[in-house]
Amino acid sequence: MSGTVVLYAPSDDALADFQRVAPGGADISWVDSTQPIEEQASQLKDAVAVIVGGGGGFSVELAKSCAKLTLIQTTSAGTDRLDKQALGEMGIRVANNGGGNAVAVAEHTMALIVSTYRKLQLQLQAVKSGEWAGDIRASWFSQAHELAGRTVGIIGLGRIGSRVARRLQGWECDIIYHDVVQFPDLEAELGVSSVSKDELLQSSDVVTLHVPLNKHTRGMMSDREFGMMKPTAVLINACRGPVVDEAALIRALKEGKIAAAGLDVLEEEPTPKDNPLLDMDNVLVTPHMASFAQESGEKSRVFAMRNVTKVAEGGEPESIVLPE
């Protein structure tokens, strides 16, 4: 294979898009990730940097056959499908998209918050079914709320969470956050306050999650956490499904421990048709498409190509994600 930068994906549909944004005439090749691993290994033997597509997986077994590989680059913010610990022990680092989809996910988060608060899915369903407002006014009027004056708690104030906070500034909300890292500059700029996770859960009218999926965050929202939230509170999740214990969420919604949820991600995707969340009037679900926008795709591709080209030329990559 010519070149040292590779798009590793199940199809070559995106190859032209990556080649178009390749800096300085850099060349990029494609390896079909559905081939037998021996064929993949043969084609990847000279690869220094790989861009993973189609879900972002790259097995440790395959990596062992890639003697020159030093960087696996994703076009997503999440890198949970990669064994960063094992790859790191082989001298292979992992980089995410450098915030390429942060604006799109933040905007989608705002849509989830407002739509869930105003029961928009029920309004759309009623109009589409020919019922106009149906019985929504009678059954949901007391449960639809204005966002102004509410407290929004952001768990994870990174690239996406901080953009959610920025967009909330115009909504006349009080904004608090919890993160393992402190952001004094952002606190001053955005008027947000750092609190403990428990205080955030107890105080927030809306809790929105923006954390990576790892061993520390898997199942971080479960029975204990839902029991601490206000019965009028709304949960928003646009990061990764397994961050939320789905069975506990279903219990919390059925028992009235929280009022509603707006979800772009679920534990199993595509989710089974009999998932109880799909039949709940107080739950809005979108199909893990928060990051989907022409602009976010372009920004992620540009960043990925710039990062892998830098590595192929002997430079240091950006946006490295460390093992947990």
- Angle of the 159-168 helix axis to the 102-117 helix axis, nearest 10: 50
Residue 320 lies in a domain: no
| Per-residue pLDDT, 139 | 66
Q: How far apart are CA 78 and CA 290, in angstroms?
A: 13
Residue 132 lies in a domain: yes
Domain identity same for 91 and 154? no
Domain identity same for 224 and 204? yes
| Per-residue pLDDT, 25 | 61
Residue 116 lies in a domain: yes
pTM of the model: 0.93
Domain identity same for 127 and 221? yes
Per-residue pLDDT at 1 exceeds 60: no
What pLDDT, in 10s, does the model give residues 290-308? 999 999 999 999 999 999 9
What pLDDT, in 10s, does the model give residues 275-284? 999 999 999 9
Residue 284 burial (C-beta neighbours within 10 Å; 0-12, 13-18, 19+): buried
Domain identity same for 189 and 255? yes
- Which of 137-151, 171-185, 308-322 shows the lowest mean pLDDT across its residues? 137-151
Domain identity same for 38 and 134? no
Domain identity same for 174 and 37? no
Phi/psi-derived region of residue 275, left when phi > 0, alpha when psi is between -120 and 50, beta in every other case: beta
- Which of 7-11, 89-93, 130-134, 270-274 shows the lowest mean pLDDT across its residues? 130-134
What pLDDT, in 10s, does the model give residues 2-57? 447 899 999 999 999 999 998 876 778 999 999 999 999 999 999 999 999 877 78
Domain identity same for 72 and 141? no
Q: How far is CA 216 from CA 34, 201, 219, 238, 323, in A?
A: 31, 18, 8, 17, 12
Helical segments of 173-222, H only? 184-190, 197-203
How many domains, in total, are found in the chain? 2
Domain with 164, as residue range(s), is: 102-285
Domain identity same for 232 and 176? yes
Q: Peptide bond preceding 270: is omega within 30 degrees of 0, i.e. cis?
A: yes
Residue 322 lies in a domain: no
Phi/psi-derived region of residue 130, left when phi > 0, alpha when psi is between -120 and 50, beta in every other case: left
| Per-residue pLDDT, 24 | 75
Domain identity same for 177 and 246? yes
Domain identity same for 93 and 178? no
Backbone angles phi, psi at 316, to 5 degrees: -100, 130
| Per-residue pLDDT, 245 | 98
* Residue with the larger pLDDT of the pair 142 and 298: 298
| Per-residue pLDDT, 272 | 97
Q: How far apart are CA 166 and CA 176, in angstroms?
A: 12
Domain identity same for 68 and 215? no
What pLDDT, in 10s, does the model give residues 210-256? 999 999 999 999 999 999 999 999 999 999 999 999 999 999 999 99
Sign of the alpha-carbon dihedral angle for 258, 260, 265, 270 = positive
Residue 125 lies in a domain: yes
Residue 264 pLDDT class (50, 70, 90 cuts): very high
In the chain, the percentage of residues whose pLDDT exceeds 70 is: 97
Residue 252 lies in a domain: yes
Backbone angles phi, psi at 70, to 5 degrees: -125, -15
Residue 55 lies in a domain: yes
Task: Report the candidate in 233, 321, 250, 248 with the shortest Cα–Cα distance to residue 285.
Answer: 250
Residue 324 lies in a domain: no
| Per-residue pLDDT, 103 | 98
Most distant CA pair in the chain, distance: 66
Greatest mean pLDDT among 11-20, 102-111, 126-135 lies in 102-111
Query: Residue 161 sits in a domain of what CATH number?
Result: 3.40.50.720
| Per-residue pLDDT, 27 | 77
| Per-residue pLDDT, 2 | 40
Helical segments of 14-158, H only? 15-21, 37-43, 60-63, 84-89, 102-117, 120-128, 136-140
Domain identity same for 303 and 179? no
Q: How far apart are CA 254 and CA 256, in angstroms?
A: 6
> Which residues, in sequence order, are CB contacts of 313 under 8 Å at separation 6+?
none
The residues that are catalytic are: 240, 269, 288
Residue 324 pLDDT class (50, 70, 90 cuts): confident
What pLDDT, in 10s, does the model give residues 51-106? 998 777 899 999 999 999 999 999 999 999 999 999 999 999 999 999 999 999 99
Q: How far is CA 227 from CA 194, 259, 281, in A?
A: 21, 12, 21
Q: How far apart are CA 129 and CA 312, in angstroms?
A: 55
Tokens for 172?
């006349």
> Which residues, in sequence order, are CB contacts of 67 under 8 Å at separation 6+?
45
